[in-house]
Structure 1
Amino acid sequence: MALSFAGKSVAVSAISTIVRKSFDYLEKYAKAEGMKSVQERLERALPQVQVVFDAIDMERIRDQSEGLDAWLWQLRDAVEEAEDVLDEVEYYKLEKKVKTGGNKVSSSLYKCKRVVVQQFNSTFRAGTFKRLLGAIRKLDEVVVGVERFVLLVDRLDSCTSRHICHQEVSNPRETNSFSVDEIVIGRDTEKDQIVEWLIEQDNVHDHDVCAVNAFSIVGIGGMGKTTLAQAVYNDQRVKQCFDQAMWICVSNDFDVPALTKKIIQEITREGTNVTNFNALQEIVRENLKSKKFLLVFDDVWNDERRPDWEKLVAPLKFGQKGSKILLTTRMESVADIVERVLGGRTKSLRLEGLHEKDLLAIFNRHAFFEVNPDDYFNLQEIGKKITRKLSGCPLAAKIMGGLLNNSLDSIYWNRMLRENISNIEHNSEGIMKILRLNYHHLAPHLQACFRYCGMFREDYWFRKDELINFWMGSGLIQLSANENQRPEDIGEFYLGILTKKSFFELRLNKSTNLYEGYDLHEVNVPPKCGFIASEIMDLKDLRYLYIHCLENVNADEATLDKLGEKENLIMLSLTWKNSQQESDTEERVLNNLQPHMNLTKLKIKGYNGSRSPCWLGNTTIINLTYLYISNCSYWQHLPPLGELPSLKYLYLIRLISVKRIDSSFYGCERPFGFPSLEYLFIERLPALEEWVEMEGEHLFPRLKAIAVMGCKELRNIPALPSTVTYLEMDDVGLTTLHEPYRPNGTSETQKPSLSRLKICHCPYLKTLEQLNQFLSLEEIRIEHCKNLVQLPMDHLEMLPLLKCMSVEGCPMLMIPRATIRLPSSMRKLYVGSCGGTYESWLVNSLFGHTSLTTLTLYGCATPALPPVEVCKSLIALSCLEIIRCHELADLNGMEELTSLRELKVIGCNKLEELPVVSSQQFQASERNQVVTACTSYLGRLEKLQISSPFVLQWFPLRSVTSVINMTINSCRCLPEEWLMQNCNHLQRIGVRDASHLEFLPSIMASLTSLESLEFTRVMLMQSLPELPSSLRRLQILGCNPVLMQRCQKTRGHDWHKVAYIPDLLIVEDVPSGYSWHSYM
């Protein structure tokens, strides 16, 4: 509403408009007896309201007068109620015009409405006018109460006019892939490091590495994380390396369906009306499964909800090998959780402050905007002193420069140096001082326009005309005496000023007119500078507080901050780095940092004390919902966290001295046993040997997800409730898996909820016969359990929801005696390195499985594919991967896979040996007969990746005619005859290692559908044949010098053969870390 966001300069004007409109409607449409006196009384009181608003500081009003603060809230509610009723009346008026064929109603009017009435009738309309009468009477009662505050404001006026508010100034933020500045100053080294990592080559044979890897740019607000990511994103080396590039601004609201929709919009360049989350993920998977992609997640904050992360990245894992995620964040813990979720290679870069020279260049660009710096030599010297105070922060330099650009006067600049930034340090509070300073130099009407943006969510972006219309609609545009100047022109002038002063930025693509803003907050304790207790103490409404470098704090200083009095504080992060303090000193510091009971989120990192603080795990922080403890090397005994009644998320990470989780962990006073805990993650507790249960007590009654990783000495975990849906055990000394228990209050017929189970690297585990108790399982991953001998395969058919199953690296598994069938719900099966006998038995059990879509055989010792009758029954199988199956001697049976669209045959030695037995050779004299006889075989195959062209000799691949994308890892020559068979469909050919390839066949020009050719390490080829006119992309990396010269622009002998190709890249060296572009 106008009163809430417009500010005191226009509040009375907004109330006056509401009063005038209300009485106009009451007079025209209703009989309002006795309301004339009410109208007159309101009009008399409005000037007094204006006096009060002129005198008070809206941001300190509670401290100035609680009574006045309460009256203002009553006034706000009354105005808001009247405004809502007026909206309804306006709606009915417009709706009547539409029905009676009146003037057309602009859709923008509907967009601006905040109350939409979907059902209406005459009775309701009568009720609306009755409510309008009531709202006006209520407004009258509140407004006349202003008289008792008129005297109060006289003594407030003088001090208020001098006060600078301490509330953080923040604006909406929605980043994009376009860099505002064409030149990114001072980040060349960091940029090259990230680019090289993004384009470096992944080992396609390394199956243990996730297809998608991540790089995190970490740094406090204002360090230029987004700017650096934009520069990397737009680098030509990066663009050439990926099929698909996407930029997603995440910000505070980690809404998985919304983020998934953003990804779809980035891929398709259009929105989607799909609301079903599963369908959204399917769209992402289908669009990315054949592509190597780069996805930027900018401004990420979520470091607590791992299941949400897993949902978000689930469809991304189907991307091709070499796909990368680049994310920017202020928190190392975000990088940690992404590493755990992806399970692939991850790397992070901590972004530090800029060198003084680079920072000065940024400052000068904004301070001397549109003027010649050489004309202001005296100011340049002052500018150098100012930048030294900014501790390397590029945003601070930019904002400060824009502020000083207002007055190119040495007196003004020196005053700013002395009075305003002399104490600014490199932390968020210092940066906020600069932002506040810039904000308080704005005229009141510009402050009001900027504050208005606070009503939108943090990731909201504005179009120029949209934002100006919002300002106009809220009465924030001060009309000019010049009748020729429209309100729209004035609003554009306002926006220009705010943009010049760095409150907004215009995107690089100026045709879109999109604006964006900033948000900053974080606090550091600089070395040798003591604790900033006084600054924290003054932040009375502080809600989020991050304190780093606590090793520089002593126990007495920690007491001064009075965290226990900050009742609005909801998030607290405490971090020690490279501490040399005595353990008891850190224990006293942490004890003295006790927060208020209203705290909901707490992080403790790098603490070197051996004992927990006395306030953790008891009733002093009963509202705590999230607790993250990591890198506390000497912490030996966990506190009674089970007594925290509201705790939902618990992370215990890298606590290397914890040997035992005993009954005290659950607590002894009710409530105990973690009554609200939903997510439990324990990682890298290498000394943990025992985790005891509470006899006769049911623990974790609401637990949904548990992950235990890196606890090699831990043999057992407590029995889990049937509420758990996700269970992960990785690198744990687990010997058995307990059956779930049923929490009190649940039905005896309720089935266990476990839907996802992952057990990896558990060398002492011998049996998983308990699996048949989990009837809700949808995904099972059992990997690298070298002594596992028994899986309840004879009971798997009883799991009606099972969709995905992976069994790998379990060589001791025994075949069950009974004949079994996998459940009909199964969609994906991965089998690898489990011994030839077990592998053959498991694959043969697929007979009659009509729903299986994906089958992966990795490192299998079986000499043959499933029998013909099994393959024939797999009518839905669309993707088959055969990797490192060295004993596989033929591909018989594959011809029966009539739905196969994607095939990968990599590293199968016997299929690549020569000579092939005569019965299998692809004789030219038999070619036409074979192709004709086999046209129905693999007729849908579109994507093929092989490690050698010799694989194409084998039936049925030698007769395929429908391939669109083909990738060969290495070859001496391309299969000329096979290419001609597929010439009507073949669009892309890639050779990963062409170091033995001497020439391309002369038939290349006959491949009339070919659009893309990609070769790496072309060391022997010295010329090119004629290429097809359809070719749109040719990439040769690591090119023979002779061929390079022949393809030289305009002068080379082969230039005419490639000059027409739009996307042409021929270079002599393979770029450092280049990642192979796979089409699968």
Structure 2
Amino acid sequence: MAEIAYGVAGKVLEQLGSRTFQEISSVWGVRSDLKKLEHTVSAIKAVLCDAEERQASDQRLRTWLGELKDVLNDAENVLDEFQYRVLQKEAMKRYGSTKKKVCYFFSCCNPLVFHIEMAHKIKNVRERVDAISGHKDKFNLAQGPEPRNIKIHKRDMTHSFVDPSNVIGRDDDRKKIIRLLMNPDDRRNVNVIPIVGLGGLGKTALAKLVYNDILVVSHFQLRMWVCASEDFNVTRLIKEIIKSAIDKIDENFGVHGLQNNLRELLRDKKFIDNLGVDELQFRLRELLKDNKFLLVLDDVWNEDRNKWMELQDLLLGAYNGSKIIVTTRNNSVATIMGTVPTYHLHGLSKEDCMSLFVKLAFKEGEEKQYPNLLEIGNDIVEKFDEREWKFVSKNEIWNLKQNEGGILPALRLSYNLLPFHLKQCFAYCSLFPKDYEFQSRLLVQFWMAHGLLQSPDNENQDLEDIGDLYIKELMSRSLFQDVYEDGFFTYTFKMHDLVHDLAISIAKGECSVVTKTSTLAAEVCHLSILESGQEVTTQLEKLSKVQTIIFQTEESMSILKACISRFKYLRVLDLCNSSFEMLPNSIGSLKYLRYLDLTRNDRIKQLPDSICKLYSLQTLLLGGQEVI
């Protein structure tokens, strides 16, 4: 919730800092209130990084953040109305006739009346923001710098042991990695082999299989295993590498084969902890210089090239033929550290998934006693149809507390380490169905409509360029898969089902899928509607601040009109695959609308004149084309 509030606060401050607001606020008599609002929102935004770290363990803080998000959304809506009026005025100057201008002035939208109304709305929202800001002091939130990587919620430290019988479907991957380890390379003393894949896919298990393989054990004089996920502190890593060597030293050399100088260098683990940095690096270099070693750096997140270079200098001067295996979810890490092409780990085959299901669900041989359960397992492994996905989505399993060792907490680490500006972008992807094929260009327009893209620092950059960078960043962190680049520098890609579940868990309460039997939280802002009917209409009547509607089913004119009438703050309206011959004239009342999708509708004959009132519209999709 803190990350959402942070995003909205950023949008509010960007609007308040724009030249348009600065120029017009004085003329309209609202400058004082807008300056106070800007000051208060800035103070709130400064503590939201700390709030995000603490929200998981403090229910009162989560409640406050929810209230803050609602107030900031209201502030954004008021400022957007302000901006809409400016755009409307510019359009009238450019295109309106004298007669229309006169009629407009004496209409119910008289500018003088509007100025008074806006001044009242701005004062009201400023007072509400002041009130909610006053409550933040009771949480003793610390001010922080502008967006930084949030505190790492570390995974459990990994170890090198594995029972090979418990690892299914990775034998080919094991053989390929071992071949890479055995390959000599006259150009380098040490090669770094990155293994990249989605969290929970089995990178660590594969590395364990390789590490304990009899060929590998006999090939390397030294083997060391270090889990790097907590932080990439070079001094800590040196200590852990030396300690791991102590654990494996007798196994590699034999008690009588261990050189005396190495015994003296290593001694015991407690002794290592008390050494200074200079002594540590000396002992590490002496340990490695005459020994062909294998080092596994498991679960690496570091993207600071300088930190890696500092450690690399101590490792790469080692005995020729030494190897380092790096497991990571992030392609950027692999690019920084790897000296050979990245090994991308993919999902298991259907047959291997079924074998894994049998192993986890039954005791040995027990599956024969329960053929019905075996059939159900096969159905689970198969791709579900829509009806079965709906059943799963409503299952009580989602209300169960996730164990610390479960898959979603493991995947959530990928989310926790995202920069603030990417967190909302990722969460909003939950609105699209599983196995949905995203198009980078359209997803960027969707993000733009919600103001999720940071303003470019370079005047030669467009917002679309920023969005493209966001897409590539999420790809590099393995949150998107099945990536295909066409010849026009755009991408199609999908989200793994588990990653989609992660997005759903993060966006819960903010984004919802609507069916006849769903239950919507009153604060929900973004909807993906899977079914139609009175039950759905009744649910929508309980909502008021919806900003996104994506119809995934054939919608009726009545429900469309109801949505247009009720949800005045809509930014995104997706009517893809609809069958309307004509849109309702009331669509012109959606003054905040920025994204309208009418693609794949062969029946629509014309657009109503009122669509010209959508002064905020950024993206209009028609047929197979788009107008931006």
TM-score (norm 1): 0.26
TM-score normalised to structure 2 length: 0.43
Higher relative contact order structure (alpha carbons within 8 Å, sequence separation ≥ 6) = 2
Give the structure with the larger helix fraction: 2
Pick the structure with greater CA Rg.
Answer: 1
